Amino acid sequence: MIHKYKQLGLNIVMDVYSGAVHVVDDVMYDMLDYTLEPFMAEAKCPDYIKEGLKDKYSEEELEESYAEICALVNAGQLFTDDCYDEIAKNWNKQSVVKALCIHVAHDCNLRCKYCFADTGEFHGGRSLMSAEVGKKAIDFVINNSGNRKNIEIDYFGGEPLMNFGVVKEITEYAKEEAKKHGKNFRFTVTTNGVLLNDDIKQYINENMSNVVLSIDGTKETNDRMRYRVDGSGSYDTIVPKFQDLAESRNQNNYYVRGTFTAYNVDFAKDVIHLADLGFKQTSVEPVVAPETEDYALTSEHIEKVCAEYDKLTAEQKKAVGDRQITDWLTAETAVAKATGLKEKYCFVSFVENPNYVSNFASQYKYLEMMQNLRPHYENGQIVLGGNQATVGSKANENKTKDVKVGFASGKLGDKTYVVMVMF
């Protein structure tokens, strides 16, 4: 199953079951209307597709685009199968438990106005979970996980850091039990950040695979809804702590999570503000609330909300455009310094993870994806040889051509760049 749409001149295609998101050209975007599920790859573009699009595109364009669709299908990024289909059909059978959300604190040190948990007490009174209950939860998920090895544990609340000693005790117990039963636990904690300190940060970084940091945006936006028991705002306290935690995790394996309401329907400014604070991983989502609440979103807000998403798309396009200009300006220098090759085609990419640099094949695929390149091959193979490679290509049955590729990497300021030269 796919979902496709246009936004601000971009053709966006989402593969529902894999979660892959593609920005495609007009040919592929239109061709996807003619493809059938389940997708059956053929050596050539089917005649019915050519017939349907012959007035818009050349046969060469159609063949090229069809080959790209096939490549994405083969890579598991388009028209992927629903891996839960059989499970859904047999829902009445005993289910395997793969994840557990543990509410370690039915209490909170904030009184967020929109809180679905009634400011942490869940309409049932404020209390903290004991370690014994938490350990029984671990036993439960192990005993009901079947032959599944990997298990997810989410520490939630309320505010989990109000009961962090128990969080640590449960975590250590889970790790010991995992050794006995051949399991692997992946832990996540969601926090408002008020109680974050160096000791908690260290433990989180050593034991939590992911961290969710709750903040809504600007100081005005955040403190309007996310305030303490005494009514004072939380922004000034949590921002430096969140920035420190994000940097200590190398801007990976966390995200800041915000909520927009009727008070900040212009939430694009809040997303941009969070980016300006240095956060690389951000999710800002609409509030869910009865229409009787003054902060609730209603049908009257839809047009404005859609416009804000357009703003964010425009900002992203601008950011990508600026990056691409910078990349091209540095390409000649980078290539000359790193390879000494006289390039016919040169592409430069800045990568956040230097590990990509060590594997040419992975990096080539990365470049192809991120730069929306159309390499001179179809259904070809990459043959490695030192820091050079030959991409064997077969444009059609009667013509074969080779594209030699030079590959190099280095540092430009605080960024790692990767250069690919095709000639």
Residue 227 and residue 274 in one domain: yes
pTM, two decimals, is 0.67
Q: How many domains does the chain have?
A: 3
* Residue that is last in its domain, among 22, 41, 74: 74
Does the residue 223 lie in any domain? yes
Q: What does the mean pLDDT of the chain come to?
A: 78
Does the residue 318 lie in any domain? no
* Residue that is last in its domain, among 297, 320, 345: 297
Does the residue 247 lie in any domain? yes
Closest CA to 87 of 134, 17, 158: 17
Span of 126-140, 219-233, 326-340 with lowest mean pLDDT: 326-340
Two structure tokens written together for 219: 């100081």
Q: Are strands 388-396 and 381-385 parallel, antiparallel or unpaired?
A: antiparallel
Name the amino acid, one letter, at 317. Answer: K
Does the residue 308 lie in any domain? no
What is the predicted pLDDT for the residue at 92? 60
Residue 286 and residue 244 in one domain: yes
- The pLDDT tens digits for 137-153 are 999 999 999 888 999 99
Q: Does residue 284 have a pLDDT over 60? A: yes
Kindly give, in sequence order, each residue whose CB lies less than 8 Å from that of residue 167, ignoring residues fewer than 6 positions away.
104, 155, 160, 161, 189
Over residues 392-400, the mean pLDDT reads 31
Residue 160 and residue 268 in one domain: yes
Residue 215 and residue 110 in one domain: yes
Residues 142 and 176: beta-carbon distance below 8 Å? no
The 3-state secondary structure of the chain reads: CEEEEEECCEEEEEECCCCCEEEECHHHHHHCCCCCCCCCCCCCCCHHHHHHHCCCCCHHHHHHHHHHHHHHHHCCCCCCCCCCHHHHHCCCCCCCCCEEEEECEECCCECCCCCCCCCCCCCCCCEECCHHHHHHHHHHHHHCCCCCCEEEEEEECCCHHHHHHHHHHHHHHHHHHHHHHCCEEEEEEEECCCCCCHHHHHHHHHHEEEEEEECCCCHHHHHHHCEECCCCECHHHHHHHHHHHHHHCCCCCCEEEEEECHHHCCCHHHHHHHHHCCCCCEEEEECCCCCCCCCCCCHHHHHHHHHHHHHHHHHHHHHHHHHHHHHHHHHHHHHHHHCCCCCCEEEEEEECCHHHHHCHHHHHHHHHHHCCCCCCCCCCEEEEECCEEEEEEEEECCEEEEEEEEEEEEEECCEEEEEEEEC
Residue 293 and residue 378 in one domain: no
What is the predicted pLDDT for the residue at 126? 82
Most confidently predicted of 20-24, 165-169, 302-306:
165-169
For 30, 276, 310, 312, 322, the CA distances from 317, given in Å and listed in that order, are: 22, 16, 10, 9, 9
Closest CA to 289 of 307, 312, 270, 263: 263
The enclosing domain of 114 has a CATH number of 3.20.20.70
Does the residue 321 lie in any domain? no
- The pLDDT tens digits for 351-395 are 444 444 444 334 444 444 333 333 333 333 332 222 333 333 332
Residue 125 and residue 21 in one domain: no
Residue 126 and residue 155 in one domain: yes
Two structure tokens written together for 291: 């229409």
Q: Per-residue b/e over 34-67, b at no fewer than 16 CB within 10 Å?
A: bbeeebeeeeebeeebbeebeeebeeebbbbbbb
Span of 39-48, 218-227, 347-356 with lowest mean pLDDT: 347-356
Does the residue 303 lie in any domain? no
Residue 130 binned pLDDT confidence (cut-offs 50, 70, 90): very high
Closest CA to 142 of 166, 110, 176: 176
Residue 63 and residue 120 in one domain: no
Residue 154 and residue 222 in one domain: yes
What is the predicted pLDDT for the residue at 402? 41
Does the residue 122 lie in any domain? yes
Residue 257 and residue 218 in one domain: yes
Does the residue 285 lie in any domain? yes
* Residue that is last in its domain, among 275, 297, 319: 297
Domain that holds residue 391: 331-422
Residue 382 and residue 273 in one domain: no
Residue 291 and residue 224 in one domain: yes
